[in-house]
Amino acid sequence: MQRKIVFDAFGTLICRTRPRLNPYGRLLAGAGPATPRLPFLTRNVPIEVFAQELGLESLQPAIYQELAEDLTGYRLFEDVAPTLQRLRADGCRIVVCSNLAHPYAEVVRRLLPGLDGYIFSFQVGAKKPDPAIYRAVCETLDCRPNEALFVGDSQRADVDGPRRFGMSARLIDRRGRQTLDEVLRCEMN
């Protein structure tokens, strides 16, 4: 049977190369503490739409600059490319499932080209651990939940949520320098 593996993106496959600028955080700060964060991750619109909706058009120049700089501050963890290459050679189907805002999808696609699928919260309209996003994963992979393994760095979003949905799931500890191979080896034993 062909293995189906789902990876979280940021913190699992992709790491930062410099401190985060957080242009969406700037919008939240300008809008006040009662502004919900969820729409940034669940609506397929550019950042300027949120600035306009919040009446913060004056912040747009700073936000554009921060966003452009932030989008260049990422790379793959060192073990990712060889691990994905090996998995593909073994016939695995690989998708990424990530909670992220619209502009960050380009970073994922640029750093991880040619995967079998990309499931982003802003496209689905739901974020992990909402079952709708895991359902989108299974639709993309054309599989039942128990046929997919989810690997990520968040207990709640990448382990608990997928398990409740019926997937296998493994937590990766990048701060503890755990590698993808170590996590995947645990799944095979």
| pTM metric for this prediction | 0.93
- ∠ CA 10-103-28, nearest 5°, is 85
pLDDT in tens, 89-117: 999 999 999 999 999 999 999 999 999 99
- Considering only residues 60 and 187, tell me which one the structure prediction assigns the higher pLDDT: 60
What integer pLDDT is reported at residue 187 of this predicted model? 60
Run of H or E residues at 93? strand 93-98
Of the candidates 115, 25, 107, the residue with the CA atom closest to the CA atom of residue 74: 107
What integer pLDDT is reported at residue 38 of this predicted model? 64
Lowest mean pLDDT among 46-50, 155-159, 177-181: 46-50
How confident is the model over 128-136, as a mean pLDDT?
Answer: 98
What integer pLDDT is reported at residue 1 of this predicted model? 57
Is the per-residue pLDDT at 182 higher than 70? Answer: yes
pLDDT in tens, 26-69: 888 877 777 776 688 999 988 889 888 888 889 889 899 999 99
Run of H or E residues at 67? helix 60-70
Run of H or E residues at 14? strand 14-16
What integer pLDDT is reported at residue 77 of this predicted model? 98
